[in-house]
Structure 1
Amino acid sequence: MDLSALNSAQQQATCAPEGAHRVIAGAGTGKTRTLVHRVAWLIDQGVPPSGIVLLTFTRRAAREMLQRASRQVGARAHGVRGGTFHSFAHRTLRRHAERVGRTPQFTVLDRGDAEEMVGIVRSRLGLGGRGRRRFPKSRTLLSMFSSATNTGRSLEAVVTAHHPRFRRDIHDIEAIREGYTALKARQDAVDFDDLLVFLAQLLAKDKLARADIAGACHHVLVDEYQDVNKLQARIACLLSVVHGNLMVVGDEAQSIYAFRGASVDNILDFDQIFPAASTTILTENYRSTAPVLKLANGVLESFRTGIDKALESRVGEGPTPLLVAVEDADRQADYVVERVLSLREEGVSLTAQAVLARSGFQLHAIELALSRANIPYQKFGGLRLTEAAHVKDVLALLRVAVNPRDSLAWLRVLPWCENVGRTTAQRVADARATGDQSPLSSMTRRRAPELDVIESLVGELRGMVRDPTAALATAIDGMRPFLVRNYDDPDERMRELESLLALSERFEDVPRLVSELALDPPRRSEATRTEDDALLTLSTIHSAKGLEWRSVVVVGLGDGAFPSGFALEDPTAIEEERRLLYVAITRAKRHLALIQPRFLTRRGGPVFSPGCQLLDEIPDLWSRVEAGWPGQSAEDDVVEPVGVSPEVEDRLARLADYFGD
């Protein structure tokens, strides 16, 4: 078998002997190529293809790897068992269903089915109905159950950490979980988490099942191991328990999915579980230029935990990454438009460019700027500006203030109130559409005092039509109690609503704000297409992982935004923010710009950002980046970078020596 296309580290991983192996594959270092050759090499060495198990996070990834392996060893690669953890568990459980209390014909519940079943149990137990204080909805309950299952924590620990407002309901929540488990058993059903739980149970506790399942797994290979949760890691280890051959491939520096239950400890602690395991580190990067990797390596040096490595470019030199300071979100959006158009003129197509953000809401102002500049784009991660339910809610409130006959907006607002159902809301909305201005509370048969609150709020908003920022702030404040009651994550939704305040300042009045944000939002389908149908990519960093572009702009760097304000006092969380920055930087092949606004959008207006901890921690930052706004003329206002230059650092050090810290 020809391995000449592989570098020495890739060859070492490909030809590793039997046993446990950890492959640390830095960004852009040919991880997939290495896995493909490992599969082909094992087959070439005489390992039965059916004895090779390749576990990935998507079926597409497994299919593409096996297709590439077949080019090396022919049709023999088709016998390899590849797929996701869930698909492998599903196929296995069909053969062993009776051992876990199911029949071979068991039903697999999708997310919607599972939520509906949780709702049935919730209703049967009399929880969450009218007249009772706020109780989590079915979707939130299912999320709690799943988090506890996949991370190995107790349900109480999950609720305390992520849903503290429901801590006093823990006994009722546990009762629903027990009822849900029992109902699934009675109906011969399993949900996605059960597939993994039952597989782990068979492997750990059933000797006969373990001999059959793990005995058939001569070599187990796991892709993206830094993203597995505790349950998945346990399954991977258990599958290899008979033959002892397990290879995990991943990059601890790209572990960014803790919110999904992933734990970086799984890949870091691999040698604790397997003391004799070997570790191969891939560092030769085939994606990015040397200057981009110099900055990425600086981020790696700022890590508090991890495996020492430095990426080496096999691409060559290129432009130095830019660190651009701007005044606020509007200037940031202006810079993005200028940068995108400038690079396009230089021959970098829109398809080869991306704008990445820590959170989807940070892209809102950029969406509007791109739409005005007639730049077509596609967005991944987060919702479009007006697609989120709570954003639609607040815009509906403004719409009825501007146009009392807007029945669709009334139909969205009225059901917020207690004792106002869909039928009543429809009747009142139809009456308002005909011009009936009778008090809202007089239009219902049942007493609904909250209608008076809505009436008063709408009246207040009518007096603010010339001040869109004040009107939006008032509408957000007014809907706060309804938000708390109607959504399980009100704080997060409130923060997103408050991000709209900065956008409101660019509109002359409320009607214009409403018309642009509600009636004619930027949409991909309505974007003006270029002759080659190219689209700029807007994405959260989480959604961009595994992708690459010739040019990348990373926006919103500043304490409280990126890194997240919730991470600043949490060592574990801030470490994941460092990894998130590393992932963002290593998406760039040649052109890279980081934007650091002086002012971040906060409640009540812009708030001065003192800096960015993630950037401040990079050793010798200014040897890795340069400041600038390409295309800026001498007459323009020069915006100096917020980061600290060597000269300023020297002055600060001398002052600290004299005055003390």
Structure 2
Amino acid sequence: MITDSLEARILAGLDDEQREVATTLTGPLCVLAGAGTGKTRAITHRMAYGVHSGLYKPQQVLAVTFTARAAAEMRTRLRDLGAGGVQARTFHAAALKQLQYFWPQTVGGPLPGLLDHKAQLIAEAARRLRLSTDRAAIRDVAAEIEWAKVSMLTPDSYVRAAAGRDAPAGFDLTTVSRIFQSYEDVKVDRNVIDFEDVLLIIVGILQEDPRVAATVRDQYRHFVVDEYQDVSPLQQRLLDLWLGERDELCVVGDASQTIYSFTGATSRHLLDFTHRFPGAQVVKLVRDYRSTPQVVNLANRILAARTAEGERLRNAPAWPAPLELIAQRESGPEPTFTECADDEAEAAQVAGRIRKLLDDGVEASQIAVLFRTNGQSEAYEQALATAGIGYQLRGGERFFARREVRDAMLQLRAAARSVGTEPVPQVVRDILANLGYSAEPPSGGGATRERWESLAALVALADEMHANRTQEPDSIFTLQDFTVELEERAATQHAPKVQGVTLASLHSAKGLEWDAVFLVGLSEGLMPISFADTQEAVDEERRLLYVGITRARVHLALSWSTARTPGGRANRKPSRFLDGLRPNTARDAAGPRTARPARRKVTGPAKCRVCGTLLGTGAERKMGRCGDCPATYDEVTFEALREWRKEAANEAGVPAFVVFTDATLVAIAEDKPPTLNRLATLPGVGPSKLERYGEAVLAVLAQSPEA
């Protein structure tokens, strides 16, 4: 039976809605949780409350989420609440553990090896079919195969189901299907499986073997699913098999944060939850504890603008009513909107503002620069380096792979066997001092500063854990506890915070937060991205910007540039999503801009733009003129494009025509498209090549004599 003091501790600090979540321990429960509303706190306290009340056995509770970092964070919180026996894993980790256990008794023999990366095997699959590919094409095909598999499609069923999708890397759907099948054959030959296979195989075992299904259902009685808006059809099928006919399920999500549809994720399961479970209790968390009223107001307005558009648009795609957040923090500065002359100027002004924040006492680890594509990071890396500001590129070298971190873990592990009763934070400081840690950071930057920042992150983690684990009078936190935590974090890549400004894509920023956030590159073609050519795709881009806005606690800066390079054409426009939101602007009186198709529609026979003759060959149609008419391009521009194409082809290891044919290159040189949207209208420039080469082509054109 739960004690009054323990009940008070578990429920302390929860608001009314969070407390309702924490104390609703049975039956289906749907928690609609807006950004910054404390959803992780609510569900971890719910599981802890259920354990301490005796209603849950910790080993019979399974919480699943979508990243190893989120799962590790959940386990840490549960341990701090005295419910460390609860299983918190990603879908893949939970499925793999079950597969490793049941494989010998259901299939027999050793489990095939697990494939870390698909690229090498997809390249081999393409070679078997005598298809030419480069690294970008392999990446695109890998993503498409992953989408197909989480959508539970086979190579045979893929073509029909994928009708209407843009085929990756310029291949048609039938060719993608052939590569898909060849990839599956290569895996069989190598005796390996990929991450999607882990889920597919365990789903097959649970469907075909009632004994295994009964064992799993007996093991796990209560389920919690975080980020439920990101569940794929395959993950939902696995969850259904875990549940069986039961309804002991708690799901948490927010349809307005659905940003992974391209991977097969869908918010449909969250939105239809009460239809599947008519008696389900629904709790809405809308009190935003993360952001200031100014940030929350902008986030609400970016979603409300789409709601208003939907009321005006005929046959508009479904747009679920968003949660309207209510700010709980004190007032802060208004978000700023800045237009810059070019990308270099934008990066420089961001670096200057970051320097001011640092001078005002904001920690570097509490500042982030977020962009739409990874290719945008270089300008900010250079600007921060020039300003002498340390940064970390999210997705770069893994924290626990750094040499100083590995050395620190070895020494801490050795000391844990013999250390006395001295407080853990002081012991950690003493040990790491031998590796270069000091109370004050070294002057300057470079490798010495990076090494110190890694060690400082371990010290800060020791301080945080000591504070959390010694709240009760009889609680003990040992160095052994700390080393166990580090080893678990290393296994799941749950890195502690490192000093340094974070550079990250908007997608990779999901689940994180900072005191100050700079959203950069907010121009048409980047936000929304140029290949978002349907209303559904544009809606997802809007949600992505919403996620970016809600990462900020206090300071929020939004910026864009009117030209790519210094002195280039100022033809960029700020993102349509900012219409009516930035100062002194109003939404277009003619109504909202809708998604435009990436290609120009051909309504009749193509004619030469010079003499009007019907064009008879594909090459002539690509150039837009017949072969007898004189070229209208500048020779310097054309040669610059040819030189760029040669370098791109050499880097990819493919013939030059695979990048762009001569006819397409001529069309580009003659048209000189100023934007990605304009480039997309030229024959021979499909969505895949636009994403892969578009920015580089515009950069070449920007250097042309007439630019």
1:334 and 1:84 mapped to 2: Cα distance?
39
Shift of 1:308: 3.3
1:150 and 1:584 mapped to 2: Cα distance?
26
Q: Per-residue displacement from partner, 1:260-286 (whole Å, max 9, x unpaired)?
A: 332232322323333332221111111
Is the alpha carbon distance of 1:68 and 1:333 closer, same or farther for their aligned partners in structure 2, counting shifts above 3 Å?
closer
Is the alpha carbon distance of 1:236 and 1:290 closer, same or farther for their aligned partners in structure 2, counting shifts above 3 Å?
same
Q: 1:7 aligns with which of 1, 9, 15?
A: 15
Q: Is the 8 A contact 1:375 1:527 kept in 2?
A: no
Q: 1:349 aligns with which of 363, 385, 390?
A: 363
Question: How large is the RMSD of aligned CA atoms in angstroms?
Answer: 3.3
- For residue 237 of structure 2, give the secondary structure of its aligned residue in structure 1: helix
- For residue 574 of structure 2, give the secondary structure of its aligned residue in structure 1: coil
Structure 1 partner of 2:236 = 233
Q: Is the 8 A contact 2:141 2:176 kept in 1?
A: no
2:72 and 2:256 mapped to 1: Cα distance?
26
| Aligned amino acid, residue 85 of structure 1 | F
| Aligned amino acid, residue 548 of structure 1 | E
In the alignment, does 2:650 pair up with 1:644? no
Structure 2 partner of 1:371 = 385
Structure 1 partner of 2:518 = 553
Is the alpha carbon distance of 1:29 and 1:231 closer, same or farther for their aligned partners in structure 2, counting shifts above 3 Å?
same
Correspondences of 1:238-387 after superposition (within 5 Å): 238-304=241-307, 305-381=319-395
Correspondences of 1:482-631 after superposition (within 5 Å): 525=447, 534-567=499-532, 569-600=533-564, 605-616=568-579, 621=581
1:572 and 1:297 mapped to 2: Cα distance?
19
Q: Per-residue displacement from partner, 1:276-316 (whole Å, max 9, x unpaired)?
A: 32221111111111111111111121345234322122211
Q: Is the 8 A contact 1:214 1:242 kept in 2?
A: no
1:93 and 1:380 mapped to 2: Cα distance?
31
Q: Is the 8 A contact 2:140 2:168 kept in 1?
A: no
1:526 and 1:571 mapped to 2: Cα distance?
49
Correspondences of 1:368-407 after superposition (within 5 Å): 368-381=382-395
Shift of 1:40: 0.9
Q: Per-residue displacement from partner, 1:199-241 (whole Å, max 9, x unpaired)?
A: 2223344333222222432111111222222211222233222
- For residue 78 of structure 1, give the secondary structure of its aligned residue in structure 2: coil
Q: How many residues align?
A: 474
| Aligned amino acid, residue 166 of structure 1 | F
- For residue 320 of structure 1, give the secondary structure of its aligned residue in structure 2: coil
Structure 1 partner of 2:35 = 27
- For residue 96 of structure 2, give the secondary structure of its aligned residue in structure 1: helix
Structure 1 partner of 2:58 = 49
- For residue 79 of structure 1, give the secondary structure of its aligned residue in structure 2: coil
Q: Is the 8 A contact 1:356 1:554 kept in 2?
A: yes
In the alignment, does 2:92 pair up with 1:94? no
In the alignment, does 2:87 pair up with 1:64? no
| Aligned amino acid, residue 318 of structure 1 | G
In the superposition, the TM-score normalised over structure 2's length comes to: 0.61
Is the alpha carbon distance of 1:381 and 1:555 closer, same or farther for their aligned partners in structure 2, counting shifts above 3 Å?
farther
Q: Is the 8 A contact 1:203 1:214 kept in 2?
A: no
Q: Is the 8 A contact 1:561 1:600 kept in 2?
A: no
1:551 and 1:539 mapped to 2: Cα distance?
13
Structure 2 partner of 1:498 = none
2:108 and 2:575 mapped to 1: Cα distance?
53
Q: 2:112 aligns with which of 90, 100, 107?
A: 107
1:225 and 1:29 mapped to 2: Cα distance?
16
- For residue 561 of structure 1, give the secondary structure of its aligned residue in structure 2: coil
2:14 and 2:343 mapped to 1: Cα distance?
45
Is the alpha carbon distance of 1:323 and 1:223 closer, same or farther for their aligned partners in structure 2, counting shifts above 3 Å?
same
1:340 and 1:141 mapped to 2: Cα distance?
39
Is the alpha carbon distance of 1:524 and 1:207 closer, same or farther for their aligned partners in structure 2, counting shifts above 3 Å?
farther
Q: Is the 8 A contact 2:147 2:262 kept in 1?
A: no
Q: Where does structure 1 lack aligned partners over 5 or more consecutive residues?
A: 384-522, 627-642, 654-661
Structure 1 partner of 2:643 = none
Q: Is the 8 A contact 2:368 2:514 kept in 1?
A: yes
- For residue 531 of structure 2, give the secondary structure of its aligned residue in structure 1: helix
Q: Where does structure 2 lack aligned partners over 5 or more consecutive residues?
A: 1-6, 308-318, 398-444, 457-497, 592-707
> Which sits farther off after the overlay, 535-544 or 141-150?
141-150
Is the alpha carbon distance of 1:381 and 1:206 closer, same or farther for their aligned partners in structure 2, counting shifts above 3 Å?
same
Q: Per-residue displacement from partner, 1:354-384 (whole Å, max 9, x unpaired)?
A: 111111222322222222222222222589x
1:323 and 1:138 mapped to 2: Cα distance?
38
Shift of 1:615: 1.2
- For residue 577 of structure 1, give the secondary structure of its aligned residue in structure 2: helix
- For residue 564 of structure 1, give the secondary structure of its aligned residue in structure 2: coil
Structure 2 partner of 1:439 = none
Shift of 1:177: 4.2
1:9 and 1:102 mapped to 2: Cα distance?
49
Q: Is the 8 A contact 1:115 1:138 kept in 2?
A: yes
2:184 and 2:75 mapped to 1: Cα distance?
41
Is the alpha carbon distance of 1:609 and 1:179 closer, same or farther for their aligned partners in structure 2, counting shifts above 3 Å?
same
Shift of 1:100: 5.6
Q: Per-residue displacement from partner, 1:308-351 (whole Å, max 9, x unpaired)?
A: 32212221111111111222212212211221122222222322
In the alignment, does 2:44 pair up with 1:36? yes
2:255 and 2:220 mapped to 1: Cα distance?
26
Q: Is the 8 A contact 1:215 1:243 kept in 2?
A: no
Correspondences of 1:192-211 after superposition (within 5 Å): 192-211=195-214
Is the alpha carbon distance of 1:337 and 1:146 closer, same or farther for their aligned partners in structure 2, counting shifts above 3 Å?
closer
Structure 2 partner of 1:512 = none
1:524 and 1:263 mapped to 2: Cα distance?
43
Q: Is the 8 A contact 1:145 1:177 kept in 2?
A: no
Shift of 1:605: 4.6
Is the alpha carbon distance of 1:30 and 1:525 closer, same or farther for their aligned partners in structure 2, counting shifts above 3 Å?
same
Shift of 1:45: 3.8
1:313 and 1:333 mapped to 2: Cα distance?
30
Is the alpha carbon distance of 1:135 and 1:70 closer, same or farther for their aligned partners in structure 2, counting shifts above 3 Å?
closer
In the alignment, does 2:83 pair up with 1:80? no
In the superposition, the TM-score normalised over structure 1's length comes to: 0.65
Shift of 1:117: 5.3
Q: Which has the higher contact order (CA 8 A, sep 6+)?
A: 1
Q: Is the 8 A contact 1:377 1:527 kept in 2?
A: no
Is the alpha carbon distance of 1:5 and 1:135 closer, same or farther for their aligned partners in structure 2, counting shifts above 3 Å?
closer
Shift of 1:176: 1.0
Q: Per-residue displacement from partner, 1:105-156 (whole Å, max 9, x unpaired)?
A: 31332224x6555666666xx423xxx6569977665544322111234433
Is the alpha carbon distance of 1:99 and 1:151 closer, same or farther for their aligned partners in structure 2, counting shifts above 3 Å?
farther
Q: Is the 8 A contact 2:224 2:251 kept in 1?
A: yes
1:565 and 1:524 mapped to 2: Cα distance?
37
Q: Is the 8 A contact 1:40 1:70 kept in 2?
A: no
Q: Is the 8 A contact 2:141 2:169 kept in 1?
A: no
| Aligned amino acid, residue 63 of structure 2 | L
Give the % identical residues.
Answer: 34
1:183 and 1:142 mapped to 2: Cα distance?
18
Q: Is the 8 A contact 1:553 1:592 kept in 2?
A: yes
Is the alpha carbon distance of 1:38 and 1:162 closer, same or farther for their aligned partners in structure 2, counting shifts above 3 Å?
farther
| Aligned amino acid, residue 249 of structure 1 | V
Shift of 1:164: 5.9
Q: Is the 8 A contact 2:121 2:186 kept in 1?
A: yes
